[in-house]
Structure 1
Amino acid sequence: MANRAKKPISPRKRGSPKSSPPDLRIRGPGCARDPGTDSPMLPQPAVFLLDYPLAIGYIMLNGGFLPLNPLLPLFSLAELLMHPIYGLSLAALLALAAVPGRGAGLSAPVRVMTWNIRFDNPADGPDAWPLRREFVQSLLRYHRPEVIGIQEGLIHQVREIAAGLDGYAWCGGGRDDGREAGELCAVFYDSARFDPLENGTFWLSPTPERPSRGWDAELNRICTWARLRDRRTGARFCVFNTHLDHRGVAAREESARLLRERIGFLAGDDPALLIGDFNARPEEAPHAVLTAPQGSGPALCDAWVAPERGRHGPSATFSGFDATRGIVGHRIDWILVCSNVRVLRHAILTDFRDGARFPSDHLPVVADVVLP
């Protein structure tokens, strides 16, 4: 169910998380399963494979196996700890493994998607929502992003998407009343991986706490945000999903300025992601406002610019429905991240169905990110 917009909260300040002693439970080879969810259990800080009388010369560090030495003969655990060389190396690895939050996120990238799904407009004819709904659902099921921000979804579209996806929860409110009226910028998230902590919706206007239209915008515009906690790593982060006005030039620039301020206010010390349809090209003012080193709130980085493992797909995101025309628009849908969030990959997806029709007039944008 869509949530009501919430009043602003004080910025959250976090202290250092409490460190737990390394889990040295005896465990056999393979990945343990959580009997409640049939999902892999959280990687332990350090686990030795001690099913056998002698210890294997490997240590599992945050989910990956590191060889102490490929030619290391089998030692007992006591011999390893007493060894003048390997005992020191082992102690160092154990100390590294026990550092809370360090390296845990490295093995757990988060796949994030932003997608303008096009509102349900009966005038769209062969591309009307009832004829493409199943394709939208199947695309999401196949690519399985763990955080999804959709734009232009009416309440029945959001509910139908939710009904077609197993294992997701969502939050958001309509732009006309903060509940169900008007388009939503809904945030979906993998409910098996993330715990929801709080969420809200605000308006892109000088009066962000109530339904309103800002500056020279033609329509009410909103941002829905959510604070999530990763069950695998304990990392907290905020995701902000928005849709800037398609006509108001001043409104887009002022909305970008407001978004940056509100991200700083609401996210506090938690890393933040800003995703959405910005109705602007990267060389235009909204992008500059959000990414400039100076300004109120954190400077954001465009995930498209320099992903560590490369980009996939075209360089534009507005396509129209007709795939035979190629990608004729501009890159107006973005994923922006705080400077301490690593971007591994970035993709603009071009899935189309029989008859060469895209599932929306915008292409989905995906990034794999690693939280600090």
Structure 2
Amino acid sequence: MTKNLYLLLVGLCLATATFAQKNQPINIITYNIRLNVASDGINAWPNRKDNVKALVRFYDADILCVQEALPEQFDDLLANSNFDVVGVGRDDGKRKGEFSAVYFNKDRFVKKDGGTFWLSTTPDVPSKGWDAALNRICSWVKLYDKANKKEFLVFNTHYDHVGVQARIESAKLLKRKIQEIAPTLPVVFTGDLNVTPETEAIATIKSFLIDTKDVSVEPPYGPTGTFNAFKWDSPLKDKIDYIFVNKAFKVQKFAVLSDSKEQRYYSDHLPVFVRLYF
């Protein structure tokens, strides 16, 4: 090997290593963890929580977005973890009701801003919107990534399970709010949207954000559907849980994770996982 060729190869290796150091991936999971109700029996939260936490650790989640977390579940996910968290209960804006919380690796990310708004015509106060059966919220956080030296935002929500119009109007509200809060920065939007991809509520989101499944560099992994109803033999056809991004991100991997133990899923939804690069 000539000296010039050797130096060229060394230079390329150093450049690649430098790029890798400056552009570290971000692993994100969105997960409807199913609220804690005793009537779920063997599938109640106390029998699942260790498996949920083990899954999050195994997949090295830098950011975890959850839906349906009651206060004790909100606390359980935070305990003995390297996470900090943003989120409030949807019923009083404090600790009452379900959370749509965003957990983030506190060693890597610095919180710059954050908040919660309600999916209603009065988004600044606890409220129920349109034909929704329940209060619904979106919690968000602006983070500084110390590894990549960049700021970005994460929004996490849970659309109503009954109100068709509420889901349509919620999507319109979210489009306005995301564009107001994050007009120029990279954006991640996650949630249990309770609608399948062909609906108007999804079309509104796709008018300004990208479904990570559609642009994953590596082929999407796992089943199509994300709702299993705690049934081991579920056909897993309906996709209702999503991760969207804007064009500031490259999606390397997308997966619907069907992890289980003793023929039981860890929730009545499957988690969605993505690996992103700026």
Q: TM-score, normalised by structure 1?
A: 0.70
CA distance, structure 1, for counterparts of residue 206 and residue 116 of structure 2: 22
Report Cα offsets for 1:82-122 as digits up to 9, x if no partner. Answer: xxxxxxxxxxxxxxxxxxxxx57873111111000000011
CA distance, structure 2, for counterparts of residue 180 and residue 327 of structure 1: 36
1:61 corresponds in structure 2 to 15
Alignment of 1:292-371 (within 5 A): 292=207, 299-323=208-232, 325-354=233-262, 356-371=263-278
2:196 corresponds in structure 1 to 281
Matched, 1:112 2:28: yes
Matched, 1:154 2:106: no
Alignment of 1:128-207 (within 5 A): 128-164=44-80, 166-207=81-122
1:44 corresponds in structure 2 to none
CA distance, structure 1, for counterparts of residue 110 and residue 256 of structure 2: 28
Structure of higher CA gyration radius: 1
Kept in 1, the 8 Å contact 2:116–2:139? The answer is yes
Report Cα offsets for 1:174-213 as digits up to 9, x if no partner. Answer: 0011110000001001111111111100000010000000
CA distance, structure 2, for counterparts of residue 265 and residue 327 of structure 1: 39
2:162 corresponds in structure 1 to 247
Write 1 or 2 for the structure with the bigger share of helix.
Answer: 2
CA shift at 1:141, angstroms?
Answer: 1.3
Higher mean C-alpha deviation, range 137-146 or range 218-227? 137-146
Amino acid aligned to 2:235: I
Amino acid aligned to 2:55: L
CA shift at 1:243, angstroms?
Answer: 0.1
Matched, 1:216 2:131: yes
Amino acid aligned to 1:113: I
Kept in 1, the 8 Å contact 2:224–2:237? The answer is no
Kept in 2, the 8 Å contact 1:63–1:107? The answer is no
CA shift at 1:309, angstroms?
Answer: 1.5
Report Cα offsets for 1:233-258 as digits up to 9, x if no partner. Answer: 21110000000000000000000010
Cα 1:264–1:201, aligned 2, differ >3 Å: closer, same or farther?
A: same
What's the C-alpha RMSD, in Å, of the aligned pairs? 1.6
Cα 1:105–1:217, aligned 2, differ >3 Å: closer, same or farther?
A: farther
Write 1 or 2 for the structure with the bigger share of strand.
Answer: 2
CA distance, structure 2, for counterparts of residue 328 and residue 229 of structure 1: 36
CA shift at 1:61, angstroms?
Answer: 2.5
Kept in 2, the 8 Å contact 1:62–1:107? The answer is no
Q: Unaligned 5+ residue runs, structure 1? A: 1-54, 65-102, 293-298
Report Cα offsets for 1:47-77 as digits up to 9, x if no partner. Answer: xxxxxxxx8962322635xxxxxxxxxxxxx
CA shift at 1:232, angstroms?
Answer: 1.1
Kept in 2, the 8 Å contact 1:193–1:230? The answer is yes
